[in-house]
Amino acid sequence: MQAQKEIIEKLKSEVFEFRANSSEELEKFRIRFLGAKNILKDLYGEIKNIPNEHKKDFGVLMNDLKQLAEAKFEEFKTLKEEKSSAQTKPDLSLPVENFEGSRHPISIVQNKIIDIFGEIGFDVSEAQEIEDDWHNFSALNLPADHPARDMQDTFFVNQNPDWMLRTHTSSVQVRLMEHTQPPIRSIMPGRVYRNETISARAHCYFHQVEGLYIAEKVSFVDLKQTLYYFVKRFFGDHVKVRFRPSYFPFTEPSAEMDIDCQICGGSGCSVCKQSGWVEILGCGMVHPNVLTNCKIDAEKYSGFAFGMGIERLTMLKYQINDLRLFSENDVRFLRQFSGA
């Protein structure tokens, strides 16, 4: 029995120390310990040479060895399976080949606007979409009973007149001025909301980019030159521009800027309502009341502001005639921008 015991112990330590570095090694192990002609079978044959009183002990030792070998095999088999399934799982950190998606046209145009104003020193400011009355209206020279509040149909939050979805990104101008002393040169892209019936020409939400430049001795000439620079970079040198006097409570004087219709070339179509011109932005010199409301010295500083709708610019640039296309997520529409 002693001799058999020694052999079993030796095999046990062999099994115990076994490590499979490859599937070939694991297969060799399986054949040796668990295969049809495995080494344990020969050893079991030894039972006839064992005295009866030791036969039981021998059986226990042999069973231990067999269980050990089976457990070892299972251990490396699962490791191997995990490894191969890891190889078939996608590696999300790899760079993308054949990218299927495309940027939304609104994002493409917004990024382009940010780039163009970046070239002339404007940085980007953002703020929240749920605003209080002060930042959306009052600070912008629109006190509670001001009739110009009706120019923008407002969504109030829980019907509370103090909280609303911002109707324009002018609220970001207020927040910026409250925290920054001039010189300020920044643009404010973002989503805005108005309680309007959805149609080809209107939506309950859309996107704006506003701009603000405040320093000493800023004049209307600076405003015009900045906006000329922008439209020429955005639409090309051929674009024709005109300013019309207008009214906004937060600017004085105020103007609107039109460009010649990029869809019909100025000859007249439904987009330009047969006029040949399309309004693309509102602008003006920041009203001194607004500067004072935001703790900026209106005697020392002056500035200009402007605001434009990104959807309008995108429609003109890509000849899109229905505003609803931007929010329907129809891939046949979106795919057309994959190269842009």
- Rounded distance between C-alpha atoms, residue 253 and residue 306, angstroms: 12
On whether the CB atoms of residues 189 and 126 are closer than 8 A, the answer is yes
For residue 260, the cross-strand partners are 277
262-269 long-range contacts (CB < 8 A, ≥24 apart) are 262/235, 262/316, 262/317, 262/319, 263/316, 263/319, 263/321, 266/240
193 vs 248 by CB, closer to ligand DAH: 248
176 vs 271 by CB, closer to ligand DAH: 176
Closest separation between CB of residue 87 and ligand DAH, Å?
Answer: 55
Closest separation between CB of residue 183 and ligand DAH, Å?
Answer: 17
- Rounded distance between C-alpha atoms, residue 197 and residue 324, angstroms: 11
- Rounded distance between C-alpha atoms, residue 165 and residue 132, angstroms: 9
What is the longest distance spanned by two Cα atoms in the chain? 117
30 vs 168 by CB, closer to ligand DAH: 168
- Rounded distance between C-alpha atoms, residue 236 and residue 204, angstroms: 31
305: closest CA among 258, 255, 235?
Answer: 255
Closest separation between CB of residue 166 and ligand DAH, Å?
Answer: 10
Closest separation between CB of residue 287 and ligand DAH, Å?
Answer: 9
172 vs 316 by CB, closer to ligand DAH: 172
- Give the H or E element holding residue 283: strand 277-286
Closest separation between CB of residue 306 and ligand DAH, Å?
Answer: 5
30 vs 312 by CB, closer to ligand DAH: 312
Nearest residue to ligand DAH on Cβ basis? 307
On whether the CB atoms of residues 241 and 308 are closer than 8 A, the answer is no
For residue 244, the cross-strand partners are 256
Closest separation between CB of residue 242 and ligand DAH, Å?
Answer: 16
Interface residues with ligand DAH (CB under 6 A) are 168, 170, 210, 248, 251, 282-284, 305-307
Closest separation between CB of residue 170 and ligand DAH, Å?
Answer: 4
In degrees, rounded to 5, the angle at the alpha carbon of residue 129 between the alpha carbons of residues 128 and 132 is 85
Closest separation between CB of residue 136 and ligand DAH, Å?
Answer: 10
15 vs 214 by CB, closer to ligand DAH: 214
251 vs 302 by CB, closer to ligand DAH: 251
182 vs 307 by CB, closer to ligand DAH: 307
In degrees, rounded to 5, the angle at the alpha carbon of residue 304 between the alpha carbons of residues 300 and 305 is 135
